Amino acid sequence: MKTILAKKTTQILLGVTTVLVALTLSAIAVVSREETPMREPETVLREVAVRTVSPASCRASIVAHGTLQPRWQTTLAAEVGGRVVSLAPELLAGRRVEAGQVLVTIDATDYEASVEMARGELASAELALAEERARAEQARVDWERGGLGSIEASALVLRKPQLAAAEAARRSAAAQLRRAEADVARTRVVAPYGGVVVTRQVSPGDYLAPGSPVATLYADALLEARIPVSERELALLPERMLHDDMSPAGVLLRPAARSGVSWEGHITRVERVVDDTNRWRHLVAELPVDEGMAVRPVPGDFVEARLAGREIDGLLALPEGCLGKRGQIWTVGADGLLAAFPAEIAFKDESSLYVRAPSGQEAFEVVLRPLTSFEVGQRVHPVVEPEVRDER
């Protein structure tokens, strides 16, 4: 009995002790929590990539596009009528012909007969003129022998009108012969310059009337491209290029359809006409074509034209990715706060855009990849990203 009572007493004491210990630990925890100060959560700043850029003087680069066209393109036509008796083998679309080459021959039988007839008329007129000259000389001698030398003879007595008529008849006959010979020459349609056949409108055996078209050629020695530019781009050109007596300025032409190919041309004039539809002006680029070219340009090539403009001060050369969605350039100040200014783009090239720098500041920490969530005055952590230079 005593043993059972002792065990119960021990269990009760153990339970009480456990409760007291638990209460003591809870009290200690509460006191410790009251004494420990609350820490504020740390603010994590957004990292942004920046690059230090300073205003500098940059030469403007104008990039535009145009289509190469021949300076001269001619539609050849028959000058006399007749049947086509032969065509040059090269008179096919796309083939090249030489200057002075006979392309079409028209039957010249009737025209050659006219030449012979005109020669006969000329011979008769020359004979009549010689006879009339002899009569006029004889009339003068007879007048002087008649003792009437002191009296002035009339023109009719001296046969001057008859002589003038004979001379006019001779000139007329000579002109008829020249026209007949010219008609014979016109039975051969000749290439006025070396070039390429665009179209052919005649076949052997066709009968042609005067003025009938036979073929269209273009001269392939010199091509031109009309390059449209805006008034803003025109203002980037050197002043010397805007005068009628401008000296040719170099331009690099790259065909869009041929990778790795470029040609050196020259801007020779600025058209003094504004396009009503888009308010553009046109620069005219000339491109001489020679046999030494590895890749020859052809009419119809769509080309990119790149030419150097004038020097412009106070520009920031920036990657295109710096331009924000709203046309802003974002910068980070020395205090780590974001700021922005509207981008006034002077010009662009293949990899950069050139923006006029706001005045009063020597350097800018420009954000390279702005986010749409940026706000002016937002604190960020700038990380300088070095410029990667293209060594090509």
DSSP assignment string, 46-70: EEEEEEEE--EEEEEEEEEEEEEEE
Question: Is residue 391's pLDDT more than 50?
Answer: no
- Please state, in angstroms and rounded to a whole number, the distance separating the CA atoms of residues 228 and 279: 10
What does the alpha-carbon distance between residue 72 and residue 219 come to, in Å, rounded to a whole number?
6
- For residue 153, pLDDT over 80 is answered with no
pLDDT at residue number 392: 41
Indicate the angle between helix axes 109-145 and 160-186, nearest 10 degrees. Answer: 170
Residue 308 banded pLDDT, cuts 50, 70, 90 = confident
Which tops the pLDDT comparison, 124 or 16? 124
pTM exceeds 0.75 for this model:
no
Q: What burial class does residue 2 get, using C-beta atoms within 10 Å of its C-beta: 0-12 exposed, 13-18 middle, 19+ buried?
A: exposed
Separation CA 69–CA 226 (nearest Å): 9
pLDDT of residue 12 exceeding 90, the answer is: no
How far is Cα 166 from Cα 129, in angstroms, rounded to an integer? 5
List phi, psi (to 5°) of 223.
-115, 155
Rounded CA-CA distance 55/41 in Å is 41
**pLDDT per residue as tens digits for the range 178-194:** 999 999 999 999 999 99
pLDDT band at 276 (very low <50, low <70, confident <90, very high): confident
Phi/psi at 353 (5° precision):
-120, 145
Question: Phi, psi (5° rounding) for residue 355?
Answer: -115, 140
For 340-352, the pLDDT digits (tens) are 999 998 888 877 8
Residue with tokens 């720098």: 357
Q: Supply the pLDDT for residue 25.
A: 62
Whether the per-residue pLDDT at 3 is higher than 80: the answer is no
**Residue % of the chain over a pLDDT of 70:** 86
Report the C-alpha gap between 123 and 115 in whole angstroms. 12
% the chain with pLDDT above 90: 53
Is there a contact between 338 and 332 (Cβ–Cβ < 8 Å)? yes
DSSP-based three-state secondary structure for 29: helix
For residue 389, the model assigns a pLDDT of 55
- pLDDT digit string (tens) for 41-79? 556 788 899 999 999 998 888 889 999 999 999 999 999
Write down the pLDDT at residue 284.
93
What is the token pair recorded at 300?
Answer: 């119809």
Q: Residue 26 above 80 pLDDT?
A: no
Q: Could you tell me if 335 and 45 are in contact, meaning their C-beta atoms sit under 8 angstroms apart?
A: no
The region of weakest confidence among 145-159, 160-174, 357-371 is: 145-159
- Kindly compute the dihedral angle of the four CA atoms of residues 78, 83, 89, 91, in this order, to the nearest 10 degrees: 30
Reported as a single tens digit per residue, the pLDDT across 78-108 is: 999 999 999 999 999 999 999 999 999 999 9
The whole-number pLDDT of residue 275 equals: 86
- What per-residue confidence (pLDDT) applies to 360? 81
The confidence band for 260, taking pLDDT boundaries of 50, 70 and 90, is: confident
The answer to whether the beta carbons of residues 355 and 346 sit under 8 Å apart is yes
Q: Taking the chain, what is the end-to-end CA distance rounded to the nearest angstrom?
A: 105
Residue type, 88: A
Closest CA to 366 of 100, 52, 29: 52
The yes-or-no verdict on residue 4 having pLDDT over 90 is no
Residues linked to residue 216 through DSSP beta bridges, in sequence order: 75, 199
Give the residue, 369 or 239, on which the prediction is more confident. Answer: 369
Residue 37 pLDDT: 54
pLDDT of residue 263: 93
Q: Which pLDDT does position 388 carry in this prediction? A: 60
112 burial type by CB count under 10 A (0-12 exposed, 13-18 middle, 19+ buried): middle
User: In this structure, are residues 367 and 331 in contact, taking their beta carbons and an 8 Å threshold?
Assistant: yes
Question: Which residues fall within 8 angstroms of residue 49, CB to CB, at 6 or more apart?
Answer: 367, 368, 369, 383, 384, 385
